[in-house]
Amino acid sequence: MIDRRTVLKGLGVTLAHIGSAPALASANEATTPVPTPSAPMSVRLAEFVRRVRFEDLPPEVVEKAKAQLVYHLGLAFNGIAMQESVEARTVMQPLAKTRGATVIGEHFRLPIAEAAFYNSTLMRAVWRDDVTWPTGIHAGILIYPPGLGLAEARHASGRELLVAVVLGYEVMCTLARAADPWAAAQPRRPSMVYGGYGPITVAGRLMNLDVARLANGYGYAANVAMGVPQGGQTTQYYGLLCRNATFSAELAEVGGAPYSPYTIEGSAGLYQSFFGEVPANLPSLIASLGSRWEILTAAQKRFPGTGQNTVPTEVLKALIGEAHLTPENVARIDAITGAVTDSPERKKELASLGPFRDWVDAWSSLPYSLAVVLVAGNLDPAGYQANLENPRVTAAMRLVHLHTESGHDAPRYARIEVTTRDGRRLVRDSDNVVYPFPREAWGPWLRQDGSRILADDQLLALERLIADLEHVEDVATLTATLIPPKTHA
Amino acid sequence: MSAAIPLFDVGWAASPPPLARRLADYICGVKLMDLPRASIERAKEELLYHVGLAFSGAKTTVGRQAVEFAYSLTRCPGPSTVISHAGRVGMVEAAFANASTVRALGFDDVLFPSATHAGLLTYPAALAVAEQQHSSGAELLVAVVTAYEILGKLVLDEDGRRAPRRPSMPFGPFAGATAAARLMKLSPTQTANALGYAADSAMGLKEGNEQQPTDVYGLIARHAIMASLLAQAGGETALSILEGKYGFYATLIGRQPDPQALIARLGHDPEILRVTQKRFPGTAMNIVPVELVLDLVRSYGLSASNVARIDIELPDDRKTFEDSIATGPYPTRTQAESSLPFQTAIILLDGHIDFLRYDNPNSPDILAVTKRVHIHLAPHADSRYARVSMTTGEGRSFIREGDTYTFPPLNAVEWLAKDGVTFVPREQLERFAASVRDLENVQDVADLVPLLAPSPAAQSSW
């Protein structure tokens, strides 16, 4: 078992206002297939998924799908030795097959759903998988594992995989825009409600399910919504969700059980069961599929902690760099975020001053995140863990005062106001943080931990195959690079 | 490193242990000698019942599909038996296939008042794990009785009747996880985590009552085994995942149990003795009124030709189960199966329940009778209560009332052979039945379960 490592050093950070974020502004409006307005929602989703072609995807969407694949594979290489992964391997190894889907970094294979469980667990193990905004879904770890497994098994092309992945983000996050589970009377993580739609969309597209079968697959998606938000995240949770949804998609393909076509909008369907009502904006959101490209809202992480704290932390980091701030010369830090719909309990987590039992316990604390940055000047995985009992950090946390403020459309808006001991007042804000992940960063990212598992030529091939994924004829050639050579065993 | 707060790192001197841990202590502490003889015999009876159902289900399209799917996933031999099929598959695949075949006809046992499908949620997982673990018959019995006990007691009495989801959906994984944890000999800490994983895998919506998916139970069986496997490997879940402010009860059920009272009830008034089998398709909620109707018809020679009106009083929680009181027409066969007016009509037409009637639920003669059925909903403490009144064309009324019904014991061999001989020789079924009757003395369940599968040579001759 190892601790989390520092990764992605030196990639740089851009603070950007969301209004000028290029990807969101250039969303494709040419695709927008029009679902049948009177059809059940699950049918309309299926119609959309069936209609989208690779040519409908804007170049930046395709590039983002590749980048997120690289990102999550790098996370998997990083996570392979984590305890969570070791436990998953212990369970999965007895189920090993000589045929089946590729298991990252292993010589054995697994049935597709079990491989999705394991690979998703690897990608999640260092807790830095991507999160979509404003929907708050851990999308990548739910989408790429079944996507890779099914594309490999069916010898799908790279184009087919790319389309499937983009659609997985699109369907899952569009549904999530309708209602925020954190704000529900019985709050829960968004992935717990909507998570099944990602794997089933990816799988359904790669399986080439017809509208009826895919719509029935969405019946499964509603019914595999699972998870209890109490006390942090159960280990392997996302892997389990991925496994169940992938298995359900396989059932849907062979016929499966007939679900009601109204599992989304029905009187005992998804929204009624989790929110007590069907959101009024649901039809318009469904009609908007393909106009926003939700994958562009997926944010990577460069340091531990909830993605909700990324923007204020980066803003403070920028101020520290500009004004040479230290714990000694700062009198007070006011952190202002948008008036989000978090539950009172979630707000307590975000405002927690500790003491923290471990780094997971500190995960949501904005005071901790800001204090570590102030004390250490940066925030990396090692620093996040090392400062849990640092008295300077504890003292710096007490300088932090949290506020919310209405009137900000951007879901990640944050403003930091620092008052120094000599009376200066420094203010900076941002709507969003976009971490650049250009192609030249892909290779170093994959090699950082991948070189312990795979040969250099494999990693190079992997990087090139992903970079040129739309021209890869068979994704199995890509997944083959994820199996270590015998000499690395 | 762990994602959740570890169960074993927290001192409990100042407060009682979390509910999951207290349940785990109970699960790990049950001994065969502590179980009432009636519970043990009932566990055997339910095993035979569900195996018979699996044979029947294996003859259906749904059952065959599930079995074929399990084999397609396995791709190479595993340690576990699929009832009715030669060749062996992985443990989770076997549990999935067996749960699907057991459920294929819509029969299985139901616990009251929790209204959970206990046998379906317990036996497929338990058999798969016991076979893989080479558990003894005694261990299997303890695991099964304990699983029923945990499942039934976790459901607060009211939940079975008013939950926004069918009770088996959120509570289902606890049964299989309990049985699996016990059979895997997990420690109390591991068992508590297995229950935590079970809580986290609770799933399912009520939408589409009329089309209750059969493979939901197979999925739950997979979850249950996985919960115990992960806990065995060291996986951890939140300390208070059941009773916490954002725990299982709060977020899925909408109310909290009294942990002290719940724990105190364990082992008393055994849940497995509350179970009701189904001998005909449809909801178990209708068993009492259907049997009352059958009794009236047989006792007084009543029929569709001489009964002008049927009044049935039921508990008012039926208003949330519309299919069960629908008078037709019936969009699907399943909706007809759930309908008490439908079942009443076919009994009045035929004098008994003819399963072939389910194939044509909207025939005019049936709908003509369902229109004579008048349902009255009123508050009743017992969810199974029913009062049936039949009035003849001459104005005479006949009334029956009840809140429970127990089917006579099965003739084990005949029950198994009814459809089982399609797959395995009768002699093999006789051996299985005899072994189950003496299950506490069976050394290795792995010697028992394969009796439910044909030899490869026999299967190839089908």
Name chain A contacts of B173, Cβ cutoff 8 Å: none
Kindly identify which residue of chain B lies nearest to residue A232, measuring between CA atoms. B4
Min distance B313 CA to chain A CA atoms (Å) = 26
Question: In this complex, is the C-beta atom of B229 within 8 Å of any C-beta atom belonging to chain A?
Answer: yes
Min distance A419 CA to chain B CA atoms (Å) = 36
In the predicted model, is pLDDT for residue B6 greater than 90?
A: no
Across residues B377-398, what is the average pLDDT? 94
Question: Is B165 in Cβ contact with A187 (below 8 Å)?
Answer: no
Kindly identify which residue of chain A lies nearest to residue B166, measuring between CA atoms. A268
Question: Is B201 in Cβ contact with A223 (below 8 Å)?
Answer: no
CA distance B102 to B100: 5
Query: Closest Cα to residue B270, out of B438, B441, B35, B45?
Result: B35
DSSP code per residue over B203-228 = B---S-GGG--TTHHHHHHHHHHHHH
Question: What ipTM was assigned to the predicted interfaces of this complex?
Answer: 0.87
CA distance B270 to B144: 12
Question: In this complex, is the C-beta atom of B162 within 8 Å of any C-beta atom belonging to chain A?
Answer: no
How big is chain B, counted in residues? 462
Name chain A contacts of B233, Cβ cutoff 8 Å: 86-88, 90-91
Query: Which pLDDT value is given to residue A18?
Result: 27
Name chain A contacts of B68, Cβ cutoff 8 Å: 254
Question: Is A186 in Cβ contact with B254 (below 8 Å)?
Answer: yes
CA-atom Rg of chain B in angstroms: 22
Question: Is B235 in Cβ contact with A236 (below 8 Å)?
Answer: yes
Amino acid at B15: S
Packing angle of the helix pair B216-232, A237-253 (nearest 10 deg): 150
- The minimal CB distance from B200 to the residues A234, A248, A258 is found for A234
CB-based contact A23:A64 (threshold 8 Å): yes
Question: Is A90 in Cβ contact with B233 (below 8 Å)?
Answer: yes
- The minimal CB distance from A270 to the residues B4, B205, B234 is found for B205
Query: Which pLDDT value is given to residue B159?
Result: 59
Name chain A contacts of B241, Cβ cutoff 8 Å: 228, 230-231, 234
Q: How many Cβ pairs within 8 Å bridge chains A and B?
A: 200
Q: Which of A241-245, B62-66, B341-345 shows the lowest per-residue confidence on average (mean pLDDT)?
A: B62-66
Q: Which of A287-291, A360-364, B291-295 shows the lowest per-residue confidence on average (mean pLDDT)?
A: A360-364
Min distance B84 CA to chain A CA atoms (Å) = 20
Name chain A contacts of B57, Cβ cutoff 8 Å: none
Across residues B8-30, what is the average pLDDT? 79
Question: In this complex, is the C-beta atom of B255 within 8 Å of any C-beta atom belonging to chain A?
Answer: no
- The minimal CB distance from B247 to the residues A98, A230, A257 is found for A230
Query: Which pLDDT value is given to residue A9?
Result: 27
Name chain B contacts of A257, Cβ cutoff 8 Å: 62, 211, 213-216
- The minimal CB distance from B199 to the residues A95, A111, A228 is found for A228
Q: Mind listing the pLDDT tens digit for each residue in B283-330? A: 888 999 999 999 999 999 999 999 999 999 999 988 878 889 999 999
Question: Is B207 in Cβ contact with A260 (below 8 Å)?
Answer: yes
Question: Is A231 in Cβ contact with B247 (below 8 Å)?
Answer: yes
Query: Which pLDDT value is given to residue B283?
Result: 87
Query: Which pLDDT value is given to residue A140?
Result: 98
Using CB atoms and an 8 Å cut-off, which of residues 91-150 of chain B contact chain A? 92
In the predicted model, is pLDDT for residue B191 greater than 70?
A: yes
Q: Mind listing the pLDDT tens digit for each residue in A386-432? A: 899 999 999 999 999 999 888 888 888 999 999 999 999 999 999 98
Query: Which pLDDT value is given to residue B162?
Result: 56
Query: What is the three-class DSSP state of B173?
Result: helix
Average pLDDT, chain A: 89
Name chain B contacts of A382, Cβ cutoff 8 Å: none
CB-based contact B249:B25 (threshold 8 Å): no
Question: Is B235 in Cβ contact with A260 (below 8 Å)?
Answer: no
Q: Which of A377-381, A446-450, B132-136, B145-149 shows the lowest per-residue confidence on average (mean pLDDT)?
A: A377-381
Min distance B354 CA to chain A CA atoms (Å) = 25
In the predicted model, is pLDDT for residue A23 greater than 60?
A: no
In the predicted model, is pLDDT for residue B334 greater than 90?
A: no
Query: Which pLDDT value is given to residue A10?
Result: 27
Query: Which pLDDT value is given to residue B73?
Result: 76
Query: Which pLDDT value is given to residue A340?
Result: 67
Q: Mind listing the pLDDT tens digit for each residue in B74-129? A: 666 788 999 999 988 989 999 999 999 999 888 889 998 888 999 999 999 999 99
Question: In this complex, is the C-beta atom of B196 within 8 Å of any C-beta atom belonging to chain A?
Answer: yes
Report the percent of chain B where pLDDT is more than 70.
92
Question: In this complex, is the C-beta atom of B235 within 8 Å of any C-beta atom belonging to chain A?
Answer: yes
CA distance A263 to A245: 15
Question: Is B69 in Cβ contact with A223 (below 8 Å)?
Answer: no
Average pLDDT, chain B: 90
Query: Which pLDDT value is given to residue A2?
Result: 32
Question: Is B92 in Cβ contact with A95 (below 8 Å)?
Answer: yes
Query: What is the three-class DSSP state of B87?
Result: strand
In the predicted model, is pLDDT for residue B149 greater than 90?
A: yes
Q: Which residues contact A29 (CB under 8 A, 6 or more apart)?
A: A291
Across residues A59-84, what is the average pLDDT? 97
Q: Is the peptide bond before B329 cis (omega within 30 degrees of 0)?
A: yes
CA distance B244 to B45: 37
Min distance A373 CA to chain B CA atoms (Å) = 23
Query: Which pLDDT value is given to residue A488?
Result: 58
Between B51 and A346, residue with greater pLDDT: B51
pLDDT band per the 50, 70, 90 thresholds, residue B10 = very low
Query: Which pLDDT value is given to residue B75?
Result: 63
In the predicted model, is pLDDT for residue A63 greater than 60?
A: yes
Report the percent of chain A where pLDDT is more than 70.
91
- Best of B62, B101, B211, B230 to disrupt the A interface (most A CBs within 10 Å) is B230
Cα distances from A387 to residues A3, A67, A355, B84, B152, in angstroms, run 14, 31, 11, 60, 47
Question: Is B222 in Cβ contact with A247 (below 8 Å)?
Answer: yes
Question: In this complex, is the C-beta atom of B239 within 8 Å of any C-beta atom belonging to chain A?
Answer: yes
Q: Which of A34-48, A232-246, A360-374 shows the lowest per-residue confidence on average (mean pLDDT)?
A: A34-48
Query: Which pLDDT value is given to residue B160?
Result: 53
pLDDT band per the 50, 70, 90 thresholds, residue A1 = very low
Query: Which pLDDT value is given to residue A382?
Result: 80
Question: Is B209 in Cβ contact with A270 (below 8 Å)?
Answer: no
Min distance A68 CA to chain B CA atoms (Å) = 23
CA distance B21 to B242: 10
In the predicted model, is pLDDT for residue A34 greater than 80?
A: no
* Per-residue 3-state assignment (H helix, E strand, C coil) for chain A: CCCCCCCCCCCCCEEECHHHCHHHHCCCCCCCCCCCCCCCHHHHHHHHHHHCCHHHCCHHHHHHHHHHHHHHHHHHHHHCCCHHHHHHHHHHHHHCECCCEECCCCCCEECHHHHHHHHHHHHHCCCCCCEECCCCCCCHHHHHHHHHHHHHHCCCCHHHHHHHHHHHHHHHHHHHHHCCHHHCCCCCCHHHHHCCHHHHHHHHHHCCCCHHHHHHHHHHHHHCCECCCCCECCCCHHHHHHHHHHHHHHHHHCCCCCCCCCCCCCCCCHHHHHHCCCCCCHHHHHHCCCCCCHHHHEECCCCCCCHHHHHHHHHHHHHHHHHCCCCCCEEEEEEEEECCCCCHHHHHHHCCCCCCCCCCCCCCCHHHHHHHHHHHCCCCHHHHHHCCCCHHHHHHHCCEEEEEECCCCCCCCEEEEEEECCCCEEEEEECEEECCCCHHHHHHHHHHHHCCCCCHHHHHHHHHHHHCHHHCCCHHHHHHHHCCCHHHC
Q: Which range, A116-120, B255-259, B275-279, has the best average confidence (pLDDT)? A: A116-120
pLDDT band per the 50, 70, 90 thresholds, residue B3 = very low
Question: In this complex, is the C-beta atom of B424 within 8 Å of any C-beta atom belonging to chain A?
Answer: no
Across residues A86-105, what is the average pLDDT? 92
Q: Mind listing the pLDDT tens digit for each residue in A141-200? A: 999 999 999 999 999 999 999 999 999 999 999 999 999 998 898 889 999 999 999 999
Query: Which pLDDT value is given to residue B213?
Result: 64
Query: Closest Cα to residue A188, out of B27, B141, B252?
Result: B252
Name chain B contacts of A229, Cβ cutoff 8 Å: 246, 251
- Best of A99, A112, A124, A228 to disrupt the B interface (most B CBs within 10 Å) is A228
Name chain B contacts of A228, Cβ cutoff 8 Å: 199-200, 202, 238, 241, 246-248, 251-252
Question: Is B5 in Cβ contact with A231 (below 8 Å)?
Answer: yes
Query: What is the three-class DSSP state of B310?
Result: strand
